[in-house]
Amino acid sequence: MDYPELIRDYLDDAGGHLDMLDASLLSLERSGYNADIIRNMLGSLHTLKGNSGMMGFESLQRYVHTVEESLKEALDKGTASDDLIDRLFGAVNVTRKALQEIEKNPTAPPDLTGKGSAAGGLAPDGQSGQGRQENELSWRLRGKTETIKVDFTRLDDLLNLAGELVILRTRLNRIGERTRAEIATKSLRNEFKESLELMGKTIAGLQEGIMRVRMLPEGHVFRKFPRMARDLSKALRKEVRLVCEGEETEVDKTVIDAL
Amino acid sequence: MPALGKVLIVDDSKLIHQMYRLVLMRFGGCRIVDAMNGLEALEILAREKDFDLILLDINMPIMNGIQFMEKMRENGMRSHAPIIVISTEGGEEDTVRAMRLGARGYIVKPFKSESLYDLIEKVVGGKSPAAAPEEMHNIS
């Protein structure tokens, strides 16, 4: 693998492209053929292909190339059949799985040979059609959220330190109460009290600020649901209408990842 | 090792920008300016002239690498910075066009960081730039 230091960036970027492809496929399925959507998808696939190749993941690069070719064909013909959309959804799943394997062990990327469109299908062997969908729902839900571009452990460390400061503040307040009675000068007593209060507010602000940095909109979780609802609808042959509200509500990244 | 003062990277992938940065770091502390497509690159070149090298992707949205080079020619914009075009397999025709429009070298994705380093060294160091493959010479 070339550029091992960029593996995290590669995986995040690739995940973003797959999310975009999922959303575009849902849109194609709902509203029918749209050349602009397909061109945008081709742009994402081209970047994903190029990045995979540059990282040294040649098998994935070739696989994405076959997906790209299938989509180019749809653009040339001016139509996107339900069968093609279904196979492209499958291809997004195959690629996500490949990325998960790469994440586990970047030095042993999966071999996707024979899983391209040569045999007319983009899904992995033995997993074409709706039968594959149930298995794939579980791992889709484990997807990570968008990265905060700071090492998360550093934010964790800062939050721990802020927590220590809060404990220290409580201790100082208690000591302050006892000490104030022993300070003879009234103005000095007041100044001491005000300083303690100000420090308390500053520490609370610091703690809240760090916690806010770790927050992400809940929409990150909801983004996975339209694709899942679509797959379930197909698998169970039932109409599903999904309505998400409150996507802008912010929660801690650790909570989002757990969801 | 030739000195590189300022480099313009033109590519629509942020990850590729990071990769080139890692390669360019080996030439010392050069200043790197990023453009995500040809149009952004033209705007940058209208403001800043003193680049020592331009790394130009061919396949980009909004304005691709070939359109960028054609616009430069149309507008009479002369950059003294040598241009290395980044091509992909199957993009031979575009590579030939880019070389005819004045590119000093080309490299085909995917490539190892070492290959890009060597090419930059040759192009910026004034050695013979990479020649287009034999079969390309016949394309008019």
What was the pLDDT predicted at A130? 43
Scanning every residue of chain B, which has its alpha carbon at the shortest distance from the alpha carbon of A7? B15
On chain A, the residues whose CB falls within 8 A of the CB of B116 are none
Residue of A102, A36, A104, A107 whose CA lies nearest to A64: A102
**Beta-ladder partners of B54:** B8, B83
Amino acid at A142: R
A47 contacts in chain B (CB < 8 Å): 12-13
pLDDT at position A134 = 38
Domain boundaries, chain B: 6-138
* Whole-number Å distance between alpha carbons of B19 and A57: 15
For A46, nearest residue in chain B (alpha carbons): B59
Q: Are A215 and A252 in contact (CB under 8 A)?
A: yes
More confident residue, A158 or A115: A158
Three-state secondary structure readout of chain B: CCCCCEEEEECCCHHHHHHHHHHHHCCCCCEEEEECCHHHHHHHHHHCCCCCEEEEECCCCCCCHHHHHHHHHHCCCCCCCCEEEEEECCCHHHHHHHHHCCCCEEEEECCCHHHHHHHHHHHHCCCCCCCCCHHHHHCC
Q: What is the C-alpha separation between A10 and B110, in angstroms, rounded?
A: 15
What CATH number should be reported for the domain whose range is B6-138?
A: 3.40.50.2300
CA distance B113 to chain A (A): 7
Question: Among all residues of chain B, which has the CA nearest to that of A2?
Answer: B112
The interface predicted TM-score of the complex, written ipTM, equals 0.81
Q: Percentage of chain B with pLDDT > 70?
A: 88
H helices of chain A, in order, are 7-31, 35-55, 58-77, 82-104, 133-140, 152-180, 186-213, 219-222, 225-236, 253-258
pLDDT of residue A53: 93
pLDDT band at A132 (very low <50, low <70, confident <90, very high): very low
pLDDT of residue A189: 85
Task: Give residue A116's pLDDT.
Answer: 54
Confidence at residue A136, expressed as pLDDT on a 0 to 100 scale = 43
Average pLDDT over residues B81-99: 91
**pLDDT band at B11; cut points 50, 70, 90:** very high
Asked if A98 contacts A112 with a C-beta cutoff of 8 angstroms, the reply is yes
pLDDT of residue B135: 38
pLDDT at position A115: 63
Enumerate the residues of chain A whose CB falls inside 8 A of the CB of residue B110. Answer: 50, 53-54, 56, 58, 61
| Chain A residue closest in CA terms to B87 | A50
Residue A176 has pLDDT above 90, yes or no: no
Task: Compute the C-alpha angle B23/B24/B29, nearest 5°.
Answer: 135
A143 pLDDT higher than 80: no
* Bridging pattern class, strands B105-109 and B83-88: parallel
The listed range with the strongest mean pLDDT (A1-5, A115-119, B50-54) is: B50-54
pLDDT score recorded for residue A236: 92
* CB neighbour list of residue B32: distance below 8 Å, 6 or more residues apart: B6, B7, B8, B9, B20, B21, B24
**Higher pLDDT pick, A144 / A3:** A3
Residues A59-104 have pLDDT tens digits of 999 999 999 999 999 899 998 888 899 999 999 999 999 999 999 9
Confidence label for B127 from pLDDT (cuts 50, 70 and 90):
low
Kindly determine whether residue B61 and residue A5, on different chains, have CB atoms separated by under 8 Å.
no
> Higher confidence at residue A199 or residue A114?
A199
Locate tokens 């050349």: which residue?
A35
Contact A13/B15, CB-based, under 8 Å?
Answer: yes
Cα–Cα nearest to B85, from B93, B77, B75: B93
Average pLDDT over residues A197-205: 90
* Cβ separation B110–A43 shorter than 8 A: no
Q: Which residues of B touch A43 (CB under 8 A)?
A: 12, 61
Radius of gyration of chain A (CA): 26
pLDDT score, position B77: 76
What pLDDT, on the 0 to 100 scale, is given for residue A255?
A: 84
Token pair, residue A212, equals 């806010």
Paired sense of beta strands B83-88 and B53-57, if any: parallel
Residue A137 has pLDDT above 80, yes or no: no
**Helix axis angle, A82-104 to A133-140, nearest 10°:** 50
Question: Quick one: pLDDT band at residue A149, thresholds 50, 70, 90?
Answer: low
Q: What residue segments make up the domains of chain A, in order of their start?
A: 4-128, 152-213, 217-258
| Cα–Cα dist A176/A46, whole Å | 64
CATH of domain A4-128: 1.20.120.160
